[in-house]
Amino acid sequence: CLQVCNLLMSFLILSTNAGHENIVEVKQGKVSGINLSVKSGYVTAYLGIPYGEPPTGRLRFKKTEQRKPWHGVLKADKFGKSCFQNRENKFAEFPGTEMFLVNNEMSEDCLHLNVWVPPSKPKDAHVMVFIHGGGFESGTTSLDIYDGSVLAYAENVIVVSMNYRVGAFGFLALPGHKDAPGNAGLFDQRLALQWINENIAAFGGNPDRVTIFGHSAGAASVGFHLISPKSYPYYNRAIVQSGSGTSNWALNSEERAKRLALKLAEVLECPQTDDDAIITCLLNEDPKHLTEKQLLAKEPYALTQFLPIVDHDFLVDVPENVLGQSMKRTDILLGITKDDGNPFTLIGSTDFNIQTESSISSAELLERLKRFFPSAGDLGIQSILLQYKDWEDVNNGEKNRQAMELILRDYYFACPVKGFARYAVEHQNNVFFYEYDHRSSNDPWPEWMGALHGAELPMLFGKPFINKGRYTRSELLFSKRIMKLWANFARTGSPNVEAEDGFVWPQYSLKDEKYAVLKLNGSEVHQMLSMRNCQFWNFFFPSLLKLVK
């Protein structure tokens, strides 16, 4: 049987009777929830509520519609099925990656959302809507790491999460074709946000007090909602964690989108006489088989595959062009982890070892850069080495590894997120920036990997309150502080309200670029994060590539 690992089995105890007080009526019908024990109290969870019609048949690669009404009372006591995705991973069965791999049955009927309501059903509560990451090719709300129970209870907010289509099902595109226009996964997210807007009052939430927050691809998604006007009515604040609308891994060109669609059709042995023949074949393909074959269509060393595109509907132009003109006027909290790039150094690695420092020779560093930047040319690669390599200790394998880690952190995360912050400030938005710097005491990854991609998630979702034996007392307090900062921002637009430790998080400005470094034993204020390196990536490197070409 499929492994189902969730908090409901370890700490949260399912109530055996969902009383009348747990039944709410939404636009589609009645829904019954379950009481879950949390700390010294409980929350009411409504799990697996369908918000969209199953995107099957001609809808496989395009927008779907809101779920049709149901009869009777819908029992929302377990997570819905996950959207189709691969579990294949070089480090499968290793806890550090297993925690992010799909853990329940998959189906095309996967458009479900979950609602966690604090005790004594609130009125006009603030709502925090989480969008999961996974490179737009994986992820599901049933993962332990995304359980919203503790956050809802601790901060008296309603927490919502949603599944959306990923991989080819969510982002395959043959630009211009009516049956595969692209961005189906983003439209799923918007449909969920619309559902929340129309129904959250039934749970005690205020539809005008909705904050969307996302991690990685979820953060990039939040960035896209910030520049897509039809999403604007459905939220009023945004939190962007380790990704952004300007992330260089988050958008495909029309050319690459079509190339990937044709490659998938090729590995599935579809006729390629024209786009109609390709789409007809892909629509008739068994979803499990299509999912498995996606791996064969992936380009070597590519960080991501099927992605959002400029479809002239959800995204009218590339984000930089849109951001140059407009974006939603709102409060934005955004940032990265100190070692965000570390997991991605493993792509294409043949010598990584959990037990060693996995040092990199100068020759291997050069080869890895060529894999990650195949179009940079020799001059482009040498410019990266000039910027990052320790030229006073060229044969130090540990320093070479650290250089690779910093290159990927800056290129994929720090500099794109800083670029997005710059646009946000230019549009007179209130912006707060952070660098998260804490490695959990029970992190299964090697200690040298530090505060890697997703390191803030256990603290944000209150895991120390659930698995107390796996965390220190200091981490329990740190988790409480992180939840407070995020929820304060959702409530007021500033993380500083009710700050318990006297720490004042400054607003981000282009003058001094002050940001908070969130650490276990006291946060700090720094400024000008990776300033020289981001000048390199955001301005020098693109100009150099243009000259080379």
Q: With respect to residue 473, please indicate whether it lies within any of the assigned structural domains.
A: no
Q: Which long-range contacts (CB under 8 A, 24 or more apart) does 525-530 make?
A: 526/435, 529/414, 529/418, 529/433, 529/435, 530/410, 530/414, 530/415, 530/418
Separation of alpha carbons 152 and 22, rounded Å: 16
Q: Which pLDDT belongs to residue 6?
A: 40
Q: Specify whether the backbone of 309 is left (phi greater than 0), alpha (psi in -120 to 50) or beta.
A: beta
Helix, strand or coil for residue 463?
Answer: helix
Give the number of other CB atoms < 10 A from CB of residue 39.
14
Domain total of the chain: 1
Q: With respect to residue 85, please indicate whether it lies within any of the assigned structural domains.
A: yes
Q: With respect to residue 56, please indicate whether it lies within any of the assigned structural domains.
A: yes
Separation of alpha carbons 522 and 227, rounded Å: 35
Separation of alpha carbons 440 and 339, rounded Å: 13
Helix, strand or coil for residue 264?
Answer: helix
Q: With respect to residue 397, please indicate whether it lies within any of the assigned structural domains.
A: no
Separation of alpha carbons 292 and 508, rounded Å: 44
Q: With respect to residue 324, please indicate whether it lies within any of the assigned structural domains.
A: no
335 forms beta bridges with 241, 434
Question: What is the domain extent for residue 62?
Answer: 1-134+161-203+246-313
Q: With respect to residue 452, please indicate whether it lies within any of the assigned structural domains.
A: no
Q: With respect to residue 355, please indicate whether it lies within any of the assigned structural domains.
A: no
Q: With respect to residue 223, please indicate whether it lies within any of the assigned structural domains.
A: no
38 forms beta bridges with 41
The string of DSSP letters for 345-382 reads GGTT-SS--TTS-----HHHHHHHHHHH-TTSHHHHHH
DSSP 339: B
- Give, for all 549 residues of the chain, the pLDDT tens digit: 433 344 333 334 333 334 456 999 999 999 999 999 998 899 999 999 999 999 999 999 999 999 999 999 999 999 999 999 997 665 556 667 777 888 899 999 999 999 999 998 889 999 999 999 999 999 999 999 999 999 999 999 999 999 999 999 999 999 999 999 999 999 999 999 999 999 999 999 999 999 999 999 999 999 999 999 999 999 999 999 999 999 999 999 999 999 999 999 999 999 988 999 999 999 999 999 999 999 899 887 788 999 999 999 999 999 999 999 999 999 999 999 999 998 888 776 655 566 556 788 999 999 999 989 998 999 999 999 999 999 999 999 999 999 999 999 999 999 999 999 999 999 999 999 999 999 999 898 888 899 999 999 999 999 999 988 899 999 999 999 999 999 999 999 999 976 556 889 999 999 999 999 999 998 999 999 999 999 999 999 999 999 877
Instruction: Write the CATH number for 86.
Output: 3.40.50.1820
Separation of alpha carbons 102 and 85, rounded Å: 8
The string of DSSP letters for 48-116 reads EEE-B----GGGTTS---BPPP-SSEEE-BSPPPBPS-----TTTTSHHHHTTS--S-B-S---EEEEE
Q: Which of 494, 491, 510, 485 is nearest to 426 (CA)?
A: 510
